[in-house]
Amino acid sequence: MTAEEIFRRLSHLIQEEGLLADEEALRLIGRETDGGLRDAIGLMEQSISYAEGRLTTNDVRAVLGLVETEALFSLGQALAAR
């Protein structure tokens, strides 16, 4: 499946369950699961458990262990200042 197809399926599931999720969070899941719908649903469920009310990109990133670009930039600046 393509990332777009996974996004659409996850959006449908979120709507069916009456949950809230940011579009970009679902798109991130679609991109990170390499076409595996089962993996995407599992990641979405894990992320929802982690989320507080609404699934956000930050929730998905935390579950995946991804670091935001801003955090890396700040770390680089701190190291350069030493």
CATH number of the domain to which 23 belongs: 1.10.8.60
Residue-number span of the structural domain to which 43 is assigned: 3-81
Residue 28: C-alpha distances to residues 6, 37, 77 (Å): 10, 13, 27
Residue 51: C-alpha distances to residues 46, 54, 72, 80 (Å): 9, 6, 23, 34
pTM greater than the 0.95 cutoff: no
Q: How does pLDDT run across 32-80, given as a tens digit for each residue? A: 999 999 999 999 999 999 898 999 999 999 999 876 656 666 767 788 8
Number of domains in the chain: 1
Which residue would you say has higher pLDDT here, 25 or 81? 25
Residue 46: C-alpha distances to residues 3, 62, 76 (Å): 18, 10, 31
pLDDT score at 70: 60
pLDDT score at 82: 82
